[in-house]
């Protein structure tokens, strides 16, 4: 990845931040994008103390104009974008029949429309160069029903199929588009689902009443586990892989 420019959205979050770090450690040049400018600045400063170069860009991926201007700014400052990682995401929990219009719209806006905006903004610049790789961080919930997660699961399913269709259409230009589908990952998003200290063990053990098996490997994923999968799919080691979903969930969806 030496010298390659990688635009990463959701870069202040758990998985996004781990992806930024992994790319920087491998000699890439991450363009870290997040709507939370304060948290993004803190992340970048931490990496800078470790001697890692990261450039920050504050943007709301739900806005078409901000997506377009941010990609233009990244390329003006750093050069052509070689990789795009769509890692921005939010979670709003509610029963499917009780999801509010606001939570539904917000979830789809970030998790699906954000992928749509950023992918178009970046890939339309990759096409003339006939090279590039895109990885969208989806979820194992995109293909497995979960109680109280209808909006999230629907948004990730939409982002997943958009990414695969995009990959089919741009394969002729040498551009690869893949997915990483994490399961329960030790991030603030997961922690927000827990009501007390028993949440971690309950997640690993599973909940038969909610039709949710546990995690066969007996542990949560770390953000680094997910980041390693993202980096693999970006890299030349995955040069003949496109439209693929790599599930990183410790076996929680039983390989289905």
The residues annotated with a catalytic role in the active site are 152
Task: Kindly report the number of other CB atoms within 10 A of residue 228's CB atom.
Answer: 15
E strands in the chain: 5-9, 29-34, 55-58, 83-86, 132-137, 175-182, 206-207, 212-213, 245-248
Contacts of 251 by beta carbon, 8 Å cutoff, 6+ apart: 215, 216, 217
107: tokens are 């979830």
Mapped onto helix, strand or coil, the DSSP state of residue 94 is strand
Calpha distance 224→97 (Å, rounded): 35
DSSP state letter for 221:
B
Tell me if 253 sits within 8 A of 183, measured CB to CB: yes
Mapped onto helix, strand or coil, the DSSP state of residue 58 is strand
Alpha helices in 50-113 (DSSP H): 64-78, 101-108
131: tokens are 């090279």
Task: Kindly report the number of other CB atoms within 10 A of residue 148's CB atom.
Answer: 17
Burial of 106 (0-12, 13-18, 19+ CB in 10 A): middle
């Amino acid at each position: 990845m030496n010298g390659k420019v990688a635009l990463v959205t959701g870069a202040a979050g758990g998985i996004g931040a781990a992806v930024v770090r992994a790319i920087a450690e491998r000699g890439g040049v991450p363009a870290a994008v997040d709507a939370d400018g304060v948290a993004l600045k803190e992340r970048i400063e931490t990496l800078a103390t470790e001697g890692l170069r990261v450039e920050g860009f504050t943007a709301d991926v739900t806005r078409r104009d901000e997506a377009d201007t941010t990609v233009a700014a990244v390329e003006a400052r750093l050069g052509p974008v070689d990789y795009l990682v769509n890692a921005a995401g939010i979670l709003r929990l509610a029963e499917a029949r009780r999801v509010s219009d606001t939570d539904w719209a917000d979830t789809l806006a970030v998790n699906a429309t954000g992928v749509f905006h950023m992918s178009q903004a970046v890939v339309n610049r990759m096409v003339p160069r006939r090279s590039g790789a895109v990885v969208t961080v989806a979820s194992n919930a995109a293909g497995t029903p979960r109680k109280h997660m209808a909006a999230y699961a629907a948004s990730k399913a939409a982002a997943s199929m958009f990414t695969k269709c995009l990959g089919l259409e741009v394969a002729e230009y040498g551009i690869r588009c893949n997915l990483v589908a994490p399961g329960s990952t030790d991030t603030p998003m997961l922690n927000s689902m827990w009501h007390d200290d028993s949440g971690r063990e309950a997640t690993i053990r599973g909940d038969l009443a909610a039709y949710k098996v546990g995690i066969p490997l007996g542990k949560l994923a770390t953000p680094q586990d997910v980041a390693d999968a993202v980096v693999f799919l970006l890299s030349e080691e995955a040069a003949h892989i496109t439209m693929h979903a790599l599930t990183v969930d410790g076996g929680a969806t039983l390989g289905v």
